[in-house]
Amino acid sequence: MNQIVIPSDAEYKALGEYLAHSNMRRILVVCGKSCDRLRIGQNLDDLTARIGSEFVRFSDFAPNPDYSSVVKGIDVFRTEGCDSILAIGGGSAMDTAKCIKLYATMPPGSDYIHEKIVPNAIPFVAVPTTAGTGSEATRYAVVYYNGEKQSVTDYSCIPSAVLFDPTVLDSLPEYHRKSTMMDAFCHAVESSWSVNSTDESREYSRTAIRLILENRESYLNNEPSGNRRMLEAANIAGKAINITQTTAGHAMCYKLTGLYKIAHGHAAALCVAALWPYMLSHRDDCADVRGVDHLSGVFADLAECMGAQTPEAAAAKFKSIVDGLGLGIPSVRGDAEYVLLKKSVNPVRLKNNPVRLDGDAIDTLYHQILGE
């Protein structure tokens, strides 16, 4: 679907005009408790005075949103008579808002996660506050149900409009600034080599990679232009994985995040930095039906995007960028952790990887990722 980009201005006039034009009169705002410190949070009352729309805030969700939080949000949406949704935040706020949107029109009391999703016309606008997940551009949401991670998927949960306000990144801590950038970078790289890639997705990947490389110093220095462009890059990388899904880099990173308490983008960067050269040297184990020549062409295209002379140099440049950020490598506490890591890899995501990976390969990669 085509997503409208709402211009960011000092008084949020364009946002107000869009909300009024879309007849969003009583809006559920799914946001973190720190929203009031952001310019958009401070402007909600002004928007009410200017266009008459009312905002009902919902912040009762965890960093890893669970099903009960979504149910609470649906109850608030209904009891407050809301007609639309505005999500302000990172991946957790976006995932919660997406699920509320999908489930709000289902019969009350339903076990929503097991009901068939029927697309609805509830207006939905997103304001991402991190330049990483690209969640505002994808059909995917994650929610924990009875303690188990569940993926919810439907095109109708993609926001119809998005606003990029670079000021939301002004107070982003340095570690999260680096790790979210690398999440977007990994999305773009993994999408480019995914077995599900298309001409459209590869163009999104190219654009995102170039934007990240061209603007990373400005972004890391917290300059407005770099912040704005990185928000755009993350969104475009999100559009890429919306088509292709992620590959082994993400399949291998999730347990690293939970086991060592590091950020998702940090874990993904470590995985992709090891995976990329491994695949280059094992491309004869190609799992893409388009064949080895196609895969070699993808690696050559990635090299061009990275400004590198060869695919090997492109992989080395990526690792150099990761190393230069100083994110660090977790310390392994014994062989049992390698067994745990290997068992954690989701085989579904491995099916998207262009080079076959068996248990031995995954074990080898984890040893490389963790510096052994």
What distance in Å separates the CA atoms of residue 82 and residue 54, rounded to the nearest whole number? 9
Domain parsing of the chain, residue ranges: 4-168, 174-369
The predicted structure's pLDDT at residue 365: 97
**What is the average per-residue pLDDT within 55-64?**
92
The SS3 of residue 261 is: coil
Residue linked to tokens 């579904």: 348
Beta bridge partners of 150: 143
| Region of residue 115 (phi > 0: left; psi between -120 and 50: alpha; otherwise: beta) | beta
What distance in Å separates the CA atoms of residue 261 and residue 154, rounded to the nearest whole number? 30
Class of the CATH-defined domain 174-369: mainly alpha
**What is the average per-residue pLDDT within 36-52?**
92
pLDDT greater than 80 at residue 333? yes
pLDDT greater than 80 at residue 152? yes
What distance in Å separates the CA atoms of residue 327 and residue 317, rounded to the nearest whole number? 16
Question: CA nearest 38: which of 167, 216, 132?
Answer: 167
pLDDT greater than 90 at residue 65? no
- Which residues touch 196 (CB under 8 Å, ≥6 apart)? 243, 244, 245, 352
The predicted structure's pLDDT at residue 372: 66
The predicted structure's pLDDT at residue 11: 81
pLDDT digits (tens, 9 = 90+) for 110-143: 899 999 999 999 999 999 999 999 999 999 998 9
The predicted structure's pLDDT at residue 347: 86
C-alpha dihedral (192, 196, 201, 202), degrees to nearest 10: 40
pLDDT digits (tens, 9 = 90+) for 232-274: 999 999 999 999 999 999 999 999 998 999 999 999 999 999 9
**What is the average per-residue pLDDT within 7-28?**
93
Cα angle: 100, vertex 102, 103; to 5 degrees: 65
The predicted structure's pLDDT at residue 57: 97
What's the topology of domain 4-168?
Rossmann fold (3.40.50)
Question: CA nearest 127: which of 68, 41, 213, 23?
Answer: 41
Q: Out of 206-210, 224-228, 347-351, which region has the weakest mean confidence (pLDDT)?
A: 347-351
DSSP string, 190-250: HHHH-TT--HHHHHHHHHHHHHHHHHHHHHHTT-HHHHHHHHHHHHHHHHHHHHH---HHH
- Asked, colleague to colleague, whether 4-168 and 174-369 share their fold, the answer is no
Binned at pLDDT 50, 70 and 90, residue 348 comes out as confident
Contact 189, 209 (CB under 8 A): yes
pLDDT digits (tens, 9 = 90+) for 78-91: 999 999 999 999 98
Binned at pLDDT 50, 70 and 90, residue 1 comes out as low
What distance in Å separates the CA atoms of residue 64 and residue 118, rounded to the nearest whole number? 25
pLDDT greater than 80 at residue 41? yes
pLDDT greater than 90 at residue 64? no
The predicted structure's pLDDT at residue 2: 72
Contact 198, 252 (CB under 8 A): no
